[in-house]
Amino acid sequence: MALPTTIELQIVTPDKLVLKENVDEVEIPGSQGYFGVLPGHTPLLAGLAVGELWYRKGQEKTYVSIAFGFAEVLPDRVTVLARLAERADDIDIERAEAARARAEKRLSGAQQSAVDYERARTALLKSLARLNVSSRIGVGPRTGGMKRLRNQS
């Protein structure tokens, strides 16, 4: 059987279908780290972390902020069932800036329970993913900012 040449990418949240497109490549923020998918990939099921998913059509890359859920990878299809997913156009930058400032303030507080710390850390990661994605409209390759942050934790 011939190998597929494209991937049907579908991203859904509990609220809506965020995206359904035929693409050439996808990179996914998996719970064990970022991983890339090309047509013909081995089937797998992966948990999602907080970060930036991108997909490429030809030379053009598009970024989507993602948080939690699962990705099912098949040779010709990737289905992302995310708790949260926002395309760049849908991101409210001021809201994300405010969330980042709030999270940074909480993380710098001296008295933190482990639960509060983890909540603030997740809020910070979500806000950074949103800010990164919104800053990528019309810009070039990724800088790896989220990867660096994730690797420090």
Residues in touch with ligand ATP (CB under 6 A): 84, 86, 90-92, 95-96, 99, 123, 126, 130
61 or 119: CB nearest ligand ATP: 119
- Bridge pairing between strands 7-12 and 77-87: parallel
Shortest separation between residue 53's beta carbon and ligand ATP, angstroms: 14
26 or 65: CB nearest ligand ATP: 65
Shortest separation between residue 4's beta carbon and ligand ATP, angstroms: 31
Shortest separation between residue 106's beta carbon and ligand ATP, angstroms: 11
Shortest separation between residue 58's beta carbon and ligand ATP, angstroms: 27
101 or 139: CB nearest ligand ATP: 101
Concatenating the DSSP letter of every residue in 43-93 gives: PEEEEB-EEEEEEEETTEEEEEEEEEEEEEEETTEEEEEEEEEEEGGG--H
Take residue 111 and report the two structure tokens written for it.
């008295």
- Tokens 């710390």 — which residue? 117
Take residue 102 and report the two structure tokens written for it.
């709030």
